[in-house]
A and B are shown apart, each in its own frame.
Chain A
Amino acid sequence: MKIAFRIYSDVLQDRRETIEALIHSRAGVAFALKMFVIVMLIAGLGQWFGIPVAIQQPLLSERIQDLGDTIQDIGNQAIDTIDEYMSTISQENLPETLTRLINDLISQGVKTGVKSLQRSMIEAGVPPEQLDQLMAQVIPLEDPFSAQVTGLLAIPLHERWFTSRFGLRPEQIVWVDEQINAVADRVNEAIDQAQAEAELLEPPLGARTSRLIRLFGRWLSTPFTSVSGWLFVALVGLLVAKLLGGRATVAQHLAAVLLAAGPAVLFFVAFIPIMRYVLPLPYSMAIHYFGRVLALIAIGWSGLILLKTLAVAHDFSFWRSAGALALTWLFLWVIIPAVSFAALAYVWGG
């Protein structure tokens, strides 16, 4: 273990003797592979910072519950707003005498209201004989009117506005009120049902436990997902190096590339996911960009080691090794696309 750590340290320090001993030994590739896997698993540990996110992220059933609460809050706020608005306008734009009349009728009962009506008529200068005729008509209506007003008294203020504005009868107001409540009940029922079905969809081991297990699986895959993009580049690099007179075998060349991944432990911070539900967004973004800075350092450091390891593996000078890397880039981004385009143009053009 101590010697392995010393070898790793020598690779990071770009020591030629150690690199030469590894690449030109039979087990050099095995050591390089093991080193790469361990380094990437250590770097991939940054993903475990996602554990609080995995635990605190709401489940589908919890999201549905939140949605239902939000709908209820919106509904209640809407009704409160209407109530407030109606109570304001029901007292505006009416003559003072009529306002007093309505208040008397509603708050003090019909009989008091009738007396108030009589008083109002006298104040308005209605002749006594006309007043007697009017009272003779109003008083027999007291009982049915009283029933109507009693119905009005039972209805909240916003519904009284509907009564006065649209001429709806009290029993119609009650029916509308019942329909509104029935819709609200149906919405609540649908949300409860959706929540119950969302709970049925959860994995057998539980959603949060499953998230943790999958996080473990993603961590185990880190070496494979990291290398998959680079292996093709490494193989093209091998072709280019061979064209330049390189002497390494496939195994030695790949060992040289894998040894250059030594500084990849600096990718640890870059693997930390965005910590929603745990940290404020500015801190998450700071971690993300700090991780990219460290990753840039790791890439530069790996590049320097790669120049040495390729030079040792292929028996190149430093500058020949740099030329091989530059040519590899040229092959991938210029020559291969150009040749492919030319081939397609030839076949299509005839």
Chain B
Amino acid sequence: MSEQVELAGVRAVASVSAREVDDSTGALRLLRETLLLNDDAYAVVRDASSSLWRGFAALLWILLFTIVARGLALFFGMLTSPRLDVLQTQIYEMLTSLGFYQAQVQQSPGFADQFRWGYAGLWEGIRLLGGYPSVVGTASTAISLLIYLLLGWLVYGLVVHVVARWMGGRASLGQTLGGLALAYAPLLLTVIVIVPGARVPASLIFLLILVARFQAIKTVHRLTPGYSLVALITPYLISLVLLIGVILFGLAYAAAQIPYLQPFLQGWLLFNTFNWLW
């Protein structure tokens, strides 16, 4: 009897913890349910009168939280990190007082500006590699995030929609994009970086977004898990093939500029042909 009472208690906890999501659920609540892997959130967006704008509103909240978090992380990070700007200024003053620098400035008037930009760029690289906070690094991360989120959402959503419809999916483009917008909810975990020393591995964010996208495609298009998986990975495969193509043709263009490489490659091809014949 006591075991039955315990089990009832467990079920009671499970049911109390369950929160229903419906059309009246706000964007933040939808994002919370998405983080808890509750696929009802995608169903709400799918069934909304304006799925695209519902999803876009959630995306804007994600952008707002992550960019504000980055800004606060920069502020608190600077309070608790070594003051590299002092070292940077001292080394700069030492270098610019050298005879070599003075001679170069006299020879070429633009050298001073080039040196200053190159020197600043080098220190930004040092900050990036060392994990030290920097204004330039934070600003470029925020801009990249904005571009990645919006562009990635649109391009990925378009390709997924085409493949999902081909697989038998029934959603509209707006529903697809609305559902996929919620799938960026794992980015909210990066808010933790406000605390200096805290970090969320990028691989974790990537995998969680992958899982959320799978749930979004499956729920919005009402596909089987297998077809949902195909629709999920197709854009990644296309990107990989395009990337390989860009690398190969880029290398080919660079190699074609080297005059001595072509005879060597011809000889190598000839050797391979003889090898194959033999």
Which A residues have a C-beta under 8 Å from some C-beta of B? Answer: 3-4, 6-7, 10, 17-18, 21-22, 25-31, 33, 197, 200-205, 209-210, 213-218, 220-221, 224-225, 227-228, 231-232, 235, 242, 249-251, 254, 350
Contacts and interface: CB of A to CB of B under 8 A. Distances in A.
A53 to B, nearest CB: 15
A235 to B, nearest CB: 7
A225 B201 contact: yes
B81 interface: yes
A218 B36 CA distance: 23
19 contacts: A3-B10, A6-B10, A7-B13, A10-B6, A10-B10, A17-B10, A22-B14, A25-B18, A26-B38, A30-B18, A200-B86, A201-B82, A201-B84, A209-B80, A210-B80, A214-B196, A225-B199, A231-B204, A251-B38
B15 A251 contact: no
Contacts of A216: 195, 197
A250 B7 contact: no
B17 A31 contact: yes
Contact of B83 (A31, A200, A227): A200
B207 A232 contact: yes
A232 B203 CA distance: 9
Interface stretch (B58-66, B157-165, B208-216, B254-262): B208-216
B78 A204 contact: yes
Given A202-B82, A217-B197, A224-B201, A27 B18 contact: yes
B250 interface: no
Given A203-B80, A231-B207, A4 B13 contact: yes
A21, A216, A232: most-surrounded residue (chain B CB, <10 A):
A21
Given A10-B10, A197-B87, A214-B80, 9 more contacts: A18-B6, A27-B15, A27-B16, A27-B17, A31-B13, A200-B86, A204-B79, A225-B199, A235-B211
A235 B37 CA distance: 14
Contacts of B36: 29-30, 33
A250 B215 contact: yes
A206 to B, nearest CB: 9
A221 B204 CA distance: 12
Nearest to A350: B272
Given A10-B6, A203-B82, A213 B17 contact: no
Contacts, number: 139
B225 interface: yes
A227 B79 contact: no
B15 A25 contact: yes
B11 interface: yes
Contacts of A21: 7, 10-11, 14
Given A213-B196, A231-B208, A202 B13 contact: no
A225 to B, nearest CB: 6
Contact of A251 (B10, B37, B203): B37
Secondary structure type dominating chain A contacts:
helix
Nearest to A235: B207
- Interface residues of B toward A: which range? 35 or more
Given A3-B13, A7-B10, A214-B197, A205 B207 contact: no
Interface in B67-107: 76, 78-84, 86-87, 90
Interface of B: 3, 6-7, 9-19, 36-39, 76, 78-84, 86-87, 90, 189, 192, 195-201, 203-204, 207-208, 210-211, 214-215, 225, 272
A31 B215 contact: no
Nearest to B212: A250
Contacts of B225: 242
A27 B90 CA distance: 58
A208 to B, nearest CB: 11
B47 to A, nearest CB: 18
B17 A30 contact: yes
A21 B4 CA distance: 12
Complex A-B, nearest 8 residue pairs according to Cβ-Cβ distance, in ascending order: A217-B197, A214-B197, A27-B17, A217-B198, A210-B80, A25-B14, A228-B201, A228-B204
A254 B200 contact: no
A218 B197 contact: yes
Contacts of A215: 197
B14 A203 contact: no
A254 B211 contact: yes
B22 to A, nearest CB: 14
A201 B83 contact: yes
Contacts of B17: 27, 30-31
B214 A250 contact: yes
Contacts of A200: 83, 86
Contact of B14 (A17, A26, A204, A218): A26
Nearest to B198: A217
A6 B6 contact: yes
Q: B7, B17, B38, B83 — which one has the most chain A CB atoms within 10 A of its CB?
A: B17
A10 B39 CA distance: 27
A294 B143 CA distance: 45
B14 A27 contact: yes
B204 A224 contact: yes
B83 A204 contact: yes
Nearest to A215: B197
A210 B14 contact: no
Contacts of A217: 195-199
Contacts of B83: 200-204
Contacts of B214: 250
Contacts of A28: 14
Contacts of B18: 25-27, 30
Given A31-B14, A214-B80, A225-B199, A18 B7 contact: yes
